[in-house]
Amino acid sequence: GISQVTCTAPVNIAVIKYWGKRDEQLVLPINPSLSVTLSQDQLCARTTVAASADFKRDRVWLNGQEQSVDAPRLQKCLGEIRRLARKRKHKDERAGDLLGSCVHVCSENNFPTAAGLASSAAGYACLVQSLAKLFHIDGDVSHIARQGSGSACRSMYGGFVEWTMGRLEDGADSVAKQVAPAEHWPELRVLVAVVNAGKKAVGSTEGMQTTVKTSALVKYRAEHVVPSRQEDMRQAILERDFQTFGEITMKDSNQFHATCLDTYPPIFYLNETSKHIIHLVHRYNRHHGKIKAAYTFDAGPNAVLYLLQDDVPEVLALLRHFFPPSSTNNSEREFVQGLPDA
């Protein structure tokens, strides 16, 4: 017979950025991080996993193309899930039933891969979630998703999610936890401005490695800036304080990109369009005498704006005025409006 499971997983966008590992093997971060999980109706990953005694070997397809199963991160996730299933075999017989079978994995993104749009986060979250379901493993498996891609552990939960640093040597306590569900702040909106849908120049794994090796700023950030920021951000979320939320979001994005510039040789993820958007947001906020929109950028030039529901039409109009969808390539100037999970 064949057992089969399909899951979808959402994208998350960090407001306190993860940048730097203290353990490459286990994917343990040098600082905690915090993100907002987007709703799945526009950006998500979809994965089907199947197990059968007839399968001769594990196989994986990503967006229709077969991938090597030897990829270390994939091996890690598969291995960890099978290890957990073996451990739980005596508790739940079904967990053990499939242990002898090989698996076939089919994964798809409905948005550009590696464009700095957290596709690996949704992808690995989805993979681990569907494998856990296939092997009847319940409970938190964010520590396994973390080993696929650090930021993936935060996509295991909806709403506002933090990834704790953890203290244990094996990383078992470096996990994702929900700070508040999406319904906690229903007016919050996320706007994704696709500046460039191409592949990023320097991948985050490699980029943060070089940063940790060469930047003094990133060490200062992890030790002296993020710990208190993480607390302030959590508080701002609990109080639905958009002013504090927005200010910390922009400052943390800027500091993350400053550590990239402090990397040697330097890494540039923002392009001219990204910088124009940053200026535009500050001008817009200054005009209103308060923060109405907050930008954040990951390892690529695409802008993500956090704002409140009532301001969406105005901000969209502003973006479309300064960056008309038809001025160049349509695919490069499209705006996607993601909403938090409700």
User: Quick check: helix, strand or coil at residue 221?
Assistant: helix
Q: Which two tokens stand for residue 324?
A: 């008309």
Closest chain position to ligand DP6 (CB): 150
Three-state secondary structure readout of 137-182: CCCCCHHHHHHHCHHHHHHHCCCEEEECCCCCCCCCCCCEEEEECH
Q: Least CB distance from residue 151 to ligand DP6, whole Å? A: 3
Site residues (CB under 6 A) for ligand DP6, limited to 252-271 = none
Stretch that binds ligand DP6, among 14-22, 135-143, 171-179, 323-331 (CB under 6 A): 14-22
Q: Which two tokens stand for residue 335?
A: 């705006």
Contact between 45 and ligand DP6 by CB under 6 A: the answer reads no
Site residues (CB under 6 A) for ligand DP6, limited to 196-225 = 204-205
Contact between 33 and ligand DP6 by CB under 6 A: the answer reads yes
Backbone angles phi, psi at 184, to 5 degrees: -60, -35
Pairing type for strands 59-62 and 160-163 reads unpaired
Stretch that binds ligand DP6, among 149-157, 185-193, 288-296, 332-340 (CB under 6 A): 149-157
Contact between 129 and ligand DP6 by CB under 6 A: the answer reads no
User: Quick check: helix, strand or coil at residue 156?
Assistant: helix
Pairing type for strands 65-67 and 33-37 reads unpaired
Among 151, 155, 174, 253, binds ligand DP6 (CB under 6 A): 151
- What share of residues in the chain are helix, strand, coil (percent, to 5)? 40, 25, 35
Stretch that binds ligand DP6, among 12-20, 58-66, 105-113, 126-134 (CB under 6 A): 12-20
Contact between 17 and ligand DP6 by CB under 6 A: the answer reads yes
At residue 204's C-alpha, the angle toward residues 224 and 185, to 5°, is 65
Among 37, 101, 120, 215, binds ligand DP6 (CB under 6 A): 120
Binding interface with ligand DP6 (CB under 6 A): 14, 17-19, 27, 33, 120-121, 149-151, 204-205, 298-299
